[in-house]
């Protein structure tokens, strides 16, 4: 295992504002913008627009921007109005985004996304989605015609798996040509790679079933080949449960039980042997069993994320770790000071606070986001959140 250790100067500024290296990505601060789907690519080609360029430019003070998940191919699609990163038009448009972020002094990586069975024929020209096995993931897919329940997919063939890996590799090369500083592989949530990691959805009797992490490891190898050094991150969500995204019906396949966590232990240890720039770990949902503030768990509602859940994987992964889910300024600083993470990513806080880094630095109050505009399209609730308007900092 390659062991990584970041030295923190206790006499320096608050932990979130100290520089850090994530592989070959050099960050001036540890405030990371998490990948956040905003559904603004409302065009036939799923091409990023000038709104995307403005949105990310406004947030370029982040130590690192992890752009919204982008589809690695047409067959990967599973959500309306999400951009892709597999055509020349998309590559050209993304280069405009990366160019303006770099002009503003920022750093940005692309997140590579494949929906797998968490999709619908409406996205795929009538074709049935494919997944690890013919098991309905019990999710809801946002299609052009509205919300649709997922169906029982067809099981991917060996040729399908090879094609998916090739799609990831091609998307990584596209991202590099578009000027991204690296890529992140979306292996979290309820999508293709997470489906292969899930023993209830992956019932294969071949090598991708006996070693459920095999697909992710092969994708990491294929994607890393497009980059020099360590510029490929991996996002995981071992604690994902029904609390994160309630299904419409049926038994939900994602449970953060002891066997699931043990499976992820082994996977993270294997990732530590790959040229991975960082591990981006999503913590347990507030109110989920075992979470701070949940029934029968220590803490009250709104309690801080459990640093121990991140420390579990810190001991297994030799590289930098980004903690995510439910953090604020104080809890973000605390988990870094405790040595359980090297950086912290924020999603909704960055939606409403494009100047989040300076608000953290100066102790300014934070604006609240309008959840009704998260996927609504257009500029409202996307590029119209102001920087700090000059009011007195909270608590003063």
Catalytic annotation, residues: 191
Report phi then psi at 373, rounded to 5. -105, 5
Helix (H) or strand (E) holding 195: helix 192-197
Q: Are 164 and 77 in contact (CB under 8 A)?
A: no
Tokens at residue 351, please?
Answer: 């939606």
**DSSP class per residue in 119-155:** S-GGGTTTPPPEESSS-----EEEETTEEEE--PPEE
| C-alpha closest to that of 291 among 325, 247, 250, 252 | 325
Tokens at residue 363, please?
Answer: 């102790």
Residues in a beta bridge with 66 = 109
Give the C-alpha separation, 313 to 223, whole Å: 23
Count CB-CB contacts under 10 A for residue 7: 5
Give the C-alpha separation, 281 to 345, whole Å: 9
Report phi then psi at 281, rounded to 5. -110, 125
């Amino acid at each position: 295992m390659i062991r990584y250790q970041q030295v923190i100067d206790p006499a320096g500024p608050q932990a979130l504002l100290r520089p850090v290296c994530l592989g070959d990505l050099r960050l001036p601060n540890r405030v990371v913008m998490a990948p956040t789907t905003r559904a603004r690519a409302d065009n036939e080609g799923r091409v990023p627009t000038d709104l995307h360029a403005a949105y990310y430019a406004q947030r370029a003070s982040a130590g690192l921007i992890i752009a919204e998940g982008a589809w690695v191919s047409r067959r990967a699609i599973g959500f309306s109005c999400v951009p892709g990163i597999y055509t020349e038009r998309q590559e050209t448009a993304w280069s405009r985004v990366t160019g303006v972020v770099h002009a503003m002094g920022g750093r940005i990586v692309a997140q590579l996304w494949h929906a797998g069975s968490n999709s619908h024929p409406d996205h795929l020209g009538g074709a049935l989605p494919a997944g690890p096995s013919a098991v309905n993931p019990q999710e809801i897919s946002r299609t052009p015609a509205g919300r649709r329940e997922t169906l029982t997919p067809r099981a991917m063939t060996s040729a399908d798996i090879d094609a998916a890996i090739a799609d990831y590799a091609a998307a990584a090369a596209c991202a590099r040509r578009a000027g991204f500083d690296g890529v992140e592989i979306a292996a979290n949530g309820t999508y293709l790679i997470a489906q292969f990691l899930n023993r209830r959805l992956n019932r294969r009797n071949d090598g991708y079933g006996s070693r459920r992490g095999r697909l992710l490891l092969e994708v990491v190898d294929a994607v890393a080949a497009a980059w020099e050094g360590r510029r490929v991150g991996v996002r995981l969500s071992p604690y994902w449960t029904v609390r994160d995204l309630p299904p419409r019906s049926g038994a939900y396949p994602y449970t953060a039980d002891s066997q699931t966590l043990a499976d992820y232990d082994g996977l993270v240890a294997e990732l530590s042997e790959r040229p991975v720039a960082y591990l981006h770990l999503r913590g347990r949902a507030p109110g989920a069993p075992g979470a701070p503030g949940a029934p029968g768990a220590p803490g009250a509602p709104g309690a801080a994320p459990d640093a121990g859940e991140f420390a579990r994987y810190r001991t297994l992964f030799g590289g930098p770790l980004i903690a995510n889910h439910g953090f604020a300024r104080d809890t973000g600083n605390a988990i870094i000071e405790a040595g359980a993470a090297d950086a912290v990513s924020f999603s909704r806080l960055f939606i409403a606070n494009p100047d989040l880094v300076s608000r953290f630095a100066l102790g300014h109050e934070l604006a609240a986001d309008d959840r009704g505009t998260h996927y609504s399209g257009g500029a409202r609730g996307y590029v119209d959140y102001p920087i700090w308007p000059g009011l007195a900092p909270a608590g003063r």
